[in-house]
């Protein structure tokens, strides 16, 4: 009897062990019902075939265990299939009419609820699943006891007392059932852990990919170094900044290689962090860029040293240019305040001095008149500088009227021709077809043209050609003043319109700043094109009426 009970138990556990071996990959989840239907069906059939009769005439087998395991863990189709197999097999072995009544009660009280439970059994928490399984075992035990009572005319204890094998069989049945449920849970938990690990790994890879994308696409310089100072990662923005360097040229290299590629001589914030600082901030100038950099320690796990160094840099070149422009405007404002405060204080004494010098000049001898003429010229020059101060500093709204740019140029040409003739230079005037009226202030435009023309003539000390021309564009009219002089170096072009910045020996640095002020008051744009040794072209764009501002 014991041997048969152990054999029945092993057969009942066979689907569980096969399931643990087979169900080791998440991709096999969809085949679980089919596998359990086949394995539990075979075990149910073998248990029924190997059943033996006890001394009381009761057949002992563990066919309920494959039925229970397959129904609970295989789902509704498997439960229906196994219950049908079990019921058909049991109907074939009914001998007395009372057993039909008992069979109907078992179907209603055990098998129908078991089929209903199978639909949602796997959806509940583990503790709830264990409770349901034990309730089913308890009901099956009642069925076991009730069947013994039917066979022995209502008596339960005598069969157990007279046949100890019944009690042993029942104990092995309960033990095997508990083990079967436990190992099935282990199998599902293992695969659930694999699913959770795969899902977590997928999310982790997704987060890493998104973070990498953010680091590469963000307009920031990002450099990650290990604890020894070797470069681990450089983002795409940083590589574009130090073009034509690629990632393989700097990865696994010491950070000093990056310093050499960027041609930075000053100590970098990385070095300060390497020397023990938690955080270092520095403004780094690299080629034509200004980069605000922050270097900090990458914190390691508690109780461990740092995992490396993180360098983040932001290109603040445009911000620095805006700051410089603001400084220029502040200087202009200061110049305006100075000019407004000193103009009346200086102009009046100078006018008196010039008047007396002119009077002395008329009464002096011919030998001394040249000296007085020099004094008057210098006074006139000082007065012109004051006028430039006033024109540059005044931030007023000019009165503009419809006028022809060509008419202004034609009025100015006799003066420009005369000035060029004295210098031994040639002036060419090239006017496009009629461009229509523009909103201009004729007085200021004359001053603009005269300043640009004289600058061009002064850039050709050995003679040359000054060309003044107009170009008609769809939304703008261009005024171009080109000389064939020595040209302007590239490094000086950026500061050309700054007040007090001049490339001339005796210049004040106010002429081009005044030109810029006039152009801006006319909502225009002025720019310079120059090549050393070939000449310079000043290009002024004026908006046509009704067009968008240039």
Residue 461 lies inside a defined structural domain of this protein: yes
Taking alpha carbons only, the member of 77, 86, 82, 74 closest to residue 19 is: 74
Q: Residues 160, 14: one domain?
A: yes
> What is the β-pairing status of strands 465-472 and 426-430?
parallel
Q: Residues 51, 74: one domain?
A: yes
CA–CA distance from 255 to each of 109, 219, 276, 308, 506 (Å)? 77, 21, 16, 12, 49
Q: Which residues have CB under 8 Å from 500's CB, separation 6+? A: 508, 509, 510, 513
Q: Residues 289, 330: one domain?
A: no
Residue 237 lies inside a defined structural domain of this protein: yes
Q: Can you give the pLDDT at residue 285?
A: 80
Residue 212 lies inside a defined structural domain of this protein: no
Q: Residues 377, 408: one domain?
A: no
**CA–CA distance, 193 with 275 (Å, rounded to integer):** 45
- CA angle centred on 245, ends 244 and 247, rounded to 5°: 140
Q: Which of 366, 393, 420 is the last residue of a domain?
A: 393
Taking alpha carbons only, the member of 429, 385, 425, 399 closest to residue 411 is: 429
**CA–CA distance, 231 with 517 (Å, rounded to integer):** 49
Residue 89 lies inside a defined structural domain of this protein: yes
Residue 548 lies inside a defined structural domain of this protein: no
Q: Residues 456, 340: one domain?
A: no
Q: Which of 315, 335, 356 is the last residue of a domain?
A: 315
**CA–CA distance, 78 with 82 (Å, rounded to integer):** 6
CA 63 to chain centre: 62
By three-state DSSP, how is residue 495 classified? coil
Q: If you write DSSP's letter for every residue of 93-158 in order, what string do you get?
A: T--SHHHHHHHHHHIIIIIHHHHHHHTTGGGS-HHHHHHHHHHHHHHHHHHHHHHHHHHTTT--HH
Residue ranges of E strands in 444-486: 465-472, 476-483
Q: Residues 387, 406: one domain?
A: no
Q: Domain holding 132: CATH number?
A: 1.10.1760
* Regions of the chain where pLDDT drops below 70: 1-5, 52-61, 93-103, 106, 142-169, 263-267, 300-306, 332, 335-344, 385-398, 501, 503-508, 547-550
Ordered strands of the 308-315 beta sheet? 231-234, 220-225, 308-315, 289-298, 279-286
**CA–CA distance, 521 with 530 (Å, rounded to integer):** 25
Q: Residues 291, 440: one domain?
A: no
Residue 432 lies inside a defined structural domain of this protein: yes
Taking alpha carbons only, the member of 321, 451, 335, 469 closest to residue 392 is: 335
Q: Domain holding 348: CATH number?
A: 1.10.287
- Classify residue 434 as exposed, middle or buried by CB count within 10 Å of its CB (0-12, 13-18, 19+): exposed
Q: Domain holding 273: CATH number?
A: 3.30.450.20
Q: Residues 338, 366: one domain?
A: yes
Q: Which of 196, 230, 265 is the last residue of a domain?
A: 196
Residue 55 lies inside a defined structural domain of this protein: yes
- Classify residue 74 as exposed, middle or buried by CB count within 10 Å of its CB (0-12, 13-18, 19+): buried
Q: Residues 113, 27: one domain?
A: yes
Q: Residues 98, 73: one domain?
A: yes
**CA–CA distance, 303 with 230 (Å, rounded to integer):** 23
Backbone angles phi, psi at 43, to 5 degrees: -65, -40
Exposure string (b/e) for 303-338, b if CB count within 10 Å is 16 or more? eeeeebbbbbbebeeeebeeeeeeebeeebeebbee
Q: Which residues have CB under 8 Å from 168's CB, separation 6+? A: 1, 2, 5
Q: Can you give the pLDDT at residue 203?
A: 92
Q: Domain holding 470: CATH number?
A: 3.30.565.10
Taking alpha carbons only, the member of 196, 146, 205, 206 closest to residue 170 is: 146
Q: Can you give the pLDDT at residue 55?
A: 46
Q: Which residues have CB under 8 Å from 276's CB, separation 6+? A: none
Taking alpha carbons only, the member of 498, 210, 545 closest to residue 332 is: 498
Residue 203 lies inside a defined structural domain of this protein: no
Q: Residues 39, 169: one domain?
A: yes
By three-state DSSP, how is residue 483 classified? strand
* Contact in structure between 47 and 11 (CB atoms under 8 Å): yes
Domain span including residue 307: 218-315
Q: Residues 378, 304: one domain?
A: no
Our count of domains for the chain comes to: 4
């Amino acid at each position: 009897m014991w041997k048969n009970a152990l054999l029945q138990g092993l057969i009942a556990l066979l689907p569980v062990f096969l399931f643990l071996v087979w169900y080791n990959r998440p991709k096999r989840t969809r085949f679980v019902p089919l596998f359990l239907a086949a394995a539990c069906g075979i075990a149910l059939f073998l248990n029924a075939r190997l059943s033996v009769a006890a001394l009381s005439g009761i057949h002992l087998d563990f066919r309920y265990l494959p039925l229970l395991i397959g129904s609970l863990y295989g789902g509704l189709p498997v439960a229906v299939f196994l219950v049908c197999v079990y019921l058909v097999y049991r109907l074939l072995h009914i001998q007395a009419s009372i057993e039909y009544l008992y069979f109907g009660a078992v179907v209603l009280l055990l098998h129908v609820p078991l089929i209903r439970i199978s639909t949602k059994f796997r959806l509940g928490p583990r503790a709830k699943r264990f409770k349901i399984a034990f309730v089913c075992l308890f009901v099956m035990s009642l069925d076991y006891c009730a069947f013994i009572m039917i066979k022995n005319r209502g008596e339960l204890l005598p069969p157990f007392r007279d046949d100890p094998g019944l009690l042993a069989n029942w104990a092995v049945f309960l033990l095997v059932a508990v083990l079967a449920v436990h190992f099935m849970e282990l199998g599902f938990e293992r695969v659930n852990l694999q699913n959770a690990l795969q899902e977590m790994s997928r999310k982790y890879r997704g987060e890493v990919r998104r973070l990498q994308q953010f680091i590469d696409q963000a307009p920031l310089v990002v450099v990650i170094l290990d604890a020894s100072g070797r470069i681990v990662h450089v983002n795409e923005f940083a590589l574009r900044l130090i073009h034509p360097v690629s990632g393989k040229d700097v990865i696994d290299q010491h950070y000093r290689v990056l310093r050499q590629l960027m041609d930075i001589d000053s100590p970098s914030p990385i070095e300060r962090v390497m020397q023990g600082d938690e955080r270092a901030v520095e403004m780094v100038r690299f080629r034509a860029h200004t980069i605000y950099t922050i270097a900090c320690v990458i914190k390691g796990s508690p109780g461990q040293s740092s995992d490396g160094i993180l360098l983040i840099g932001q290109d603040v070149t445009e911000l620095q240019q805006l700051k410089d422009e603001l400084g220029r405007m502040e200087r202009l404002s200061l110049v305006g305040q100075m000019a407004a405060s000193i103009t009346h204080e200086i102009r009046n004494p100078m006018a008196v001095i010039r008047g007396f010098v002119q009077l002395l000049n008329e009464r002096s001898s011919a030998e001394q008149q040249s000296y007085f003429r020099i004094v008057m010229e210098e006074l006139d020059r000082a007065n012109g500088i004051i006028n430039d101060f006033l024109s540059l500093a005044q931030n007023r709204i000019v009165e503009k009227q419809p006028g022809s740019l060509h008419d202004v140029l034609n009025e100015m040409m006799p003066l420009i021709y005369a000035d060029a003739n004295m210098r031994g230079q040639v002036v060419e005037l090239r006017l496009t077809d009629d461009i229509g009226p523009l909103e201009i202030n004729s007085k200021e435009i004359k001053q603009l043209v005269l300043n640009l023309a004289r600058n061009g003539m002064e850039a050709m000390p050995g003679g040359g050609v000054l060309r003044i021309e107009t170009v008609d564009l769809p939304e703008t009219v261009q005024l171009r003043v080109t000389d064939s002089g020595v040209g302007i170096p590239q490094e000086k072009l950026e500061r050309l319109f700054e007040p007090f910045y001049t490339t001339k020996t005796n210049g004040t640095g106010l002429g081009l700043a005044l030109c810029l002020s006039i152009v801006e008051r006319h909502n225009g744009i002025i720019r310079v094109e120059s090549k050393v040794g070939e000449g310079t072209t000043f290009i002024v764009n004026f908006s046509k009426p009704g067009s968008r501002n240039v």
